[in-house]
Amino acid sequence: MKKTLVFLFVLCTSLTLLAFVNQVPDKVAIHGQVVDKLTGEPLAGACITTAGSSRAVYTDFDGNFTLEQAAGSTLNISLISYEAAQVQANSSKLVVELGR
């Protein structure tokens, strides 16, 4: 009887863990570039955050950024003196244009 209860406990615990592991969204590497809408020039120092996360990355000198997020996440892009933008990360390569 005791062996049966231990077996059932281990089985239920294993099935519960498998159910939670399958619910974790797959993360993908998102590469992008932020450019000026009028001139097409890259914008250095733009801040990229995702909804529901406190993590932020910033564009480099060439306006490029990379972060790992779940596919389909909403990215918030902002830079002083530019209008903020929100884009869906539906592809692994993005070009975001910011206007004034």
pLDDT of amino acid 49: 94
Give the Cα separation of 86 and 100 in Å (integer). Answer: 15
Q: For residue 33, tell me if it sits in a domain.
A: yes
pLDDT of amino acid 63: 96
pLDDT of amino acid 42: 97
Full domain range(s) for residue 39: 26-98
Residues of the chain with pLDDT under 70: 1-25
Q: For residue 90, tell me if it sits in a domain.
A: yes
Q: What are phi and psi of 71, to 5 degrees?
A: -60, 140
pLDDT of amino acid 12: 56
pLDDT of amino acid 81: 94
Q: How many domains does the chain have?
A: 1
* Global confidence as pTM: 0.71
Q: For residue 5, tell me if it sits in a domain.
A: no
pLDDT of amino acid 20: 58
Alpha carbon 74 to its chain's center = 7
